[in-house]
A and B are shown apart, each in its own frame.
Chain A
Amino acid sequence: MSWLFGGKTEQPKKEESLQQTLGFDPAQVSDVSSILSAPGVLDSARLHPLAGLDKGIEYLDLEEEQLNNVEGAQGLIPSRSWTDDLCYGTGAVYLLGLGIGGAYGFQEGVKNLPKNAPPRLQLNTILNHITKRGPYLGNSAGVLALTYNLIDSSLDGFRGKHDDINSVAAGALAGAIFRSSAGLRPMGYSTVLMAGAAGAWCGLKRLLA
């Protein structure tokens, strides 16, 4: 019968080897809750030391191969590719323009309040001024930032690296394109202005990083 149930001498040896591979004695375990309630079983460092479970949830922790690997392109926030740069840059500048324009419109509206008007009319005046100034400045700034980011990323792609020269050149080109239909003199002004803004942004980025 030993060929069917196994020899008596072999039994303890098998259990010992099982205990070594499983980490607990299968004969002593009665149900799942006794495994789970054993101290140290759910310790995240012991469960899988390489998975980094003890670090908790990591935000903005992008996987390495997805990151932008153009030389010098590591900016203030981690970015995956040029689309991330484009979206964040355009969004930030657009919101900034919207906010500044809205604030300017607000003070203009407060200054131009009609005398002895009901409060509803006064509110309407202020809102009209905000919505007149805010979107105009925001749209213009957003289009400039969009052009700048597109040109900047294209230059990065062409040259294979990202540096301040790219940035200033992209700013100058974006400024030139933005006012290209207004004549040579406004085009020159906006080119110089945008190149200066791009240079200032590079300096600010270096200061913050």
Chain B
Amino acid sequence: MSADHTRDPCPIVILNDFGGAFSMGVIGGCVWHGIKGFRNSPYGERGYGAISAIKARAPVVGGNFGVWGGLFSTFDCSVKAVRKREDAWNAVIAGFFTGGALAIRGGWRHTRNSAITCACLLGVFEGVGMMMQRFMAQPTMAPQYPDQPLTA
């Protein structure tokens, strides 16, 4: 039995990440562009403005999120397959490739800068995640026992 049952094994988890990131983007885009469209519309047409902004923009946000998440997951799986180990560097390397791949039509400089930015961002994410994990795990290391033995 593999240890981590919260995530599926590698090739098929790409599909999951595509869908999850897309859904996250669409739902977040609905909220974001709903508010934006509402605020940027004249009085009397605010509901209509919100709906039309959601219709025009939320799927695009979802698509951007989905492509990013799916590409990242694809690169993550590839890096895992090549390196044959699981650590924080996988995410950083995958972020580097993702950022580069998404900016590849903008020219060499843009690709390089975007790849480095994305790798740094993922490095910060991984670092914060590790710190949070350590922070959260601390109290369970030393459980507090009562002074008095429990009465039977």
Contacts and interface: CB of A to CB of B under 8 A. Distances in A.
**A complexed with B:** yes
Nearest to A134: B63
A60 B16 CA distance: 13
Interface residues of A, number: 30
Contacts of A139: 59-60, 62-63
A200 interface: no
A88 B8 CA distance: 11
B38 to A, nearest CB: 16
B63 A142 contact: yes
A92 interface: yes
Contacts of A95: 15, 18, 70
A146 B26 contact: yes
Contacts of A135: 60, 63, 67
Interface stretch (A21-29, A61-69, A161-169): A61-69
A89 interface: yes
B95 interface: no
Contacts of A91: 14-20, 22, 66, 70
A77 B12 contact: yes
Interface residues of B, number: 28
Contacts of A83: 20
Contacts of A192: none
Contacts of B5: 62-63, 66
Contact of A92 (B19, B23, B52, B105): B19
A17 to B, nearest CB: 32
A66 B70 CA distance: 25
A191 interface: no
Contacts of A87: 15-17, 19-20, 23
15 contacts: A59-B9, A61-B2, A63-B5, A83-B20, A86-B19, A87-B17, A89-B19, A90-B19, A91-B15, A91-B20, A139-B63, A142-B66, A143-B58, A146-B62, A181-B52
Closest 9 pairs between A and B when the two form their complex, measured CB to CB: A91-B19, A91-B18, A90-B19, A139-B59, A87-B19, A87-B20, A91-B15, A59-B9, A139-B63
Given A94-B19, A142-B66, 5 more contacts: A52-B1, A91-B14, A91-B20, A94-B18, A181-B51
